[in-house]
Amino acid sequence: MNSSTPSYHETASPETVPTPAIRDFRFLKTDDLLSEFNHLAEWRLDLKARSADTSYFDATLTPMLKELEGRKRLREAYQDDPLCPVWPDTRDQRYQRLLADARDLKAIWPLERYLATVVGVDLRQSGRHATCRCPLGTHDDTTLSFVAYPDDHFHCYGCGKHGDIFTLTGVYFGIDSFADQVRKVEAITGTMVESARIIVANEEQVIRDIEAVLS
Ligand SMILES: [Zn+2]
């Protein structure tokens, strides 16, 4: 990047979907990186099928893919070394279940509902997005820096954090692993994933039920 390129914060505005900052993947396990990548890729495909804006996901997925490709090359180069870690098996049942659970939780908890009901922030609608004070507690936010976009991702213009309900929960509780973030959302929403599958099949009625229980 040349030095005259404007920074993320200079280019980002709530009116346009901002480009996410480059993440540091060094301490993320390949297992976690791959499951988060596949989860976001599925979500992007879903948006694309609805002709929605996928720019946030394109920008998020590209560096993740590059990192995964780099690790795959390393794995190939060192595969004869007995200490070389095994590449995650995406056909593995545990892995498939994690992705299904993440999908279901996201269907029940769109970002705005999660923010208003679980996190308990006071959301203000502003055009197609909603804003609130940053709930992450890392800065004193008096100007509603936190923006929730219609594609269910957030960006905070105060601290620069961005992501979805899992990232939000991960930042708040200091959890880096995607699998652990999904389990934490499951635990704090008290949502049994098995019943969540029924909820997705019969969404409107169950949302009313959830709201009745939580109100
Ligand atoms: Zn913030």
Segments making up each domain of the chain, as ranges: 19-214
CA 133 to mean position of chain CA atoms: 19
pLDDT band at 85 (very low <50, low <70, confident <90, very high): confident
What residues are neighbours of ligand 1 (ion), with CB under 5 Å?
Answer: 134, 136, 156, 158-159
- Render pLDDT for 58-77 as a digit per residue (tens, 0 to 9): 888 999 999 999 999 999 99
Q: What is the pLDDT of residue 197?
A: 52
For residue 131 the two structure tokens come to 């804003």
The Cα–Cα gap between 153 and 56 comes to 8
Q: What is the pLDDT of residue 130?
A: 94
Where would I find the H helices in the chain?
8-11, 30-49, 55-77, 93-108, 111-113, 165-173, 178-189, 193-201, 203-214
Q: Ligand 1 center to residue 149 CA distance, Å?
A: 15
Q: Ligand 1 center to residue 136 CA distance, Å?
A: 6
pLDDT band at 148 (very low <50, low <70, confident <90, very high): very high
Q: What is the pLDDT of residue 18?
A: 57
pLDDT band at 15 (very low <50, low <70, confident <90, very high): low
Question: Among residues of the chain, what percentage have pLDDT more than 90?
Answer: 44
Q: How many CA atoms lie within 13 A of 17 on its CB side?
A: 17
List the single range of 79-83, 89-93, 105-109 with lowest mean pLDDT: 79-83
**Other C-beta atoms within 10 Å of 93: how many?**
8
93-108 and 193-201 helices cross at what angle (nearest 10)? 60
**β-strand pairing of 162-163 with 146-148:** unpaired
Q: Ligand 1 center to residue 8 CA distance, Å?
A: 14
Q: Is the complex ipTM higher than 0.90? A: yes
Contact yes or no for 18/7 (Cβ under 8 A): no
Provide mean pLDDT across the span 168-182: 93
**β-strand pairing of 162-163 with 124-126:** unpaired
Q: Ligand 1 center to residue 53 CA distance, Å?
A: 23
Region 19-214: CATH code: 3.90.580.10
